[in-house]
Amino acid sequence: MTDHFLRMVGMPGSPYSRKMRAVLRYRRVPHVWVHQGSPEARGLPQPRVALLPQLILRGPDGAPEAVPFLIANAEALQRGAARVECTVDGRRWVQQPFPYQGKCLRWLREGYAALAPDDRRAVDALLHGTGCERLFGGTVP
Q: What is the pLDDT of residue 63?
A: 46
- Mean pLDDT for 130-141 is 70
Q: What is the pLDDT of residue 64?
A: 55
Is the whole model's pTM more than 0.75, yes or no? no
**Considering the chain, what is the average pLDDT of its residues?**
80
Instruction: Select from 91, 88, 78, 86 the least CA-distant residue to 55.
Output: 88
- Mean pLDDT for 45-55 is 78
With contact defined as beta carbons under 8 Å apart, do 24 and 8 qualify?
yes
Cα–Cα distance measured from residue 26 to residue 41, given in angstroms and rounded to the nearest whole number: 24
Cα–Cα distance measured from residue 61 to residue 91, given in angstroms and rounded to the nearest whole number: 15
66-99 confidence digits (pLDDT tens): 788 888 999 999 999 999 988 876 778 888 998 9
Instruction: Select from 120, 117, 113 the least CA-distant residue to 137.
Output: 113
Q: What is the pLDDT of residue 1?
A: 39
- Mean pLDDT for 25-50 is 81
- Mean pLDDT for 91-110 is 87
> Over pLDDT 90: what percentage of the chain?
16
CA 56 to chain centre: 6
- Name which residue leads in pLDDT, 4 or 92: 92
Cα–Cα distance measured from residue 15 to residue 27, given in angstroms and rounded to the nearest whole number: 18
SS3 labels along 70-137: HHHHHHHHHHCCCCEEEEECCEEEEECCCHHHHHHHHHHHHHHHCCCHHHHHHHHHHHCCCCHHHHHC
The pLDDT of residue 48 is above 80: no
